[in-house]
């Protein structure tokens, strides 16, 4: 974990039982909507990232992680996210070690990988050079050659951390963070909720 002082016990959830709901997705109570996104992100996406890492499918894991931050940034701002929104979400919920690299992270690593399948964006001036790895115990540290080590394994844990903190703000402090709740609901309700998550359907035997 990048932030060794972070403790998920500080972000526990406690609330009254929420009745079972079987109606339209857009009418779900916020707790159910958050749970739908939690299950999709944590169990499916980050679960698949872990399976990729175990299978040495490093690029697959990285692409899933970069897309997951885009996904969360959309809920954070309640609309199709921009580069500024992506960075704003990371600045708020990712460990502080990321902050000095946010511009390069988005323009080079995120856009380079998502659009060009390389960790350097050929259409942007070269900035920070990232050394992508899954085996290193270091993360966001500069090597002697000037590259910044980027550990996909650490990144996966930091995505979980960011989601946990974001969800905690919405569920446990809704009055203080009403803007986050409204943005989350607005994003969830797009396309009547079917654009908020996917469900895995078992293959027919």
CB contact burial 119-130 (16+ within 10 A = b; e otherwise) = bbbeeeeeebbb
Q: What is the dihedral of CA 43, 48, 50, 51, to 10 degrees?
A: 130
The pLDDT of residue 205 is above 90: no
pLDDT value for 187? 98
Dump pLDDT digits (tens) for 92-123.
999 999 999 999 999 999 999 999 999 988 98
Please compute the mean of the pLDDT values over residues 26-39 and round it to a whole number.
Answer: 95
State the chain's mean pLDDT as an integer. Answer: 94
∠ Cα 74 78 81 (to 5°): 40
Q: Determine the length of the chain.
A: 205
This prediction's pTM: 0.94
Per-residue pLDDT reduced to its tens digit, 115-174? 999 998 898 887 789 999 998 889 999 999 999 999 999 999 999 999 999 999 999 999
Rounded Cα distance between 108 and 83, Å, is 11
Q: Alpha-carbon torsion 149, 155, 158, 162, what sign?
A: positive
């Amino acid at each position: 974990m990048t932030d060794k002082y972070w403790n998920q016990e500080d972000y526990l959830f406690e609330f009254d039982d929420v009745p079972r709901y079987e109606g339209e997705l857009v009418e779900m109570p916020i707790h159910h909507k958050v749970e739908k996104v939690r299950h999709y992100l944590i169990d499916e996406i980050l679960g698949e990232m872990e399976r990729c890492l175990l299978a040495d499918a490093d690029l697959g894991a990285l692409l899933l992680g970069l897309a997951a931050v885009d996904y969360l940034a959309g809920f954070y701002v309640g609309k199709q996210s921009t580069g500024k929104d992506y960075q704003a979400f990371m600045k708020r919920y990712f460990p502080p070690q990321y902050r000095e690299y946010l511009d390069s992270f988005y323009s080079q690593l995120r856009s380079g990988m998502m659009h060009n399948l390389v960790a350097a964006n050929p259409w942007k001036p070269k900035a920070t050079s990232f050394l992508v790895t899954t085996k290193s115990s270091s993360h966001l540290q500069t090597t002697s050659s000037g590259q910044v080590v980027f550990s996909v394994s650490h990144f996966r844990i930091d995505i979980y951390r960011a989601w946990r903190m974001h969800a905690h703000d919405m569920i446990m402090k809704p009055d203080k963070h009403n803007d986050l709740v409204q943005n989350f609901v607005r994003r969830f309700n797009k396309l009547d909720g079917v654009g908020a998550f996917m469900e895995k359907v078992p293959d027919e035997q």
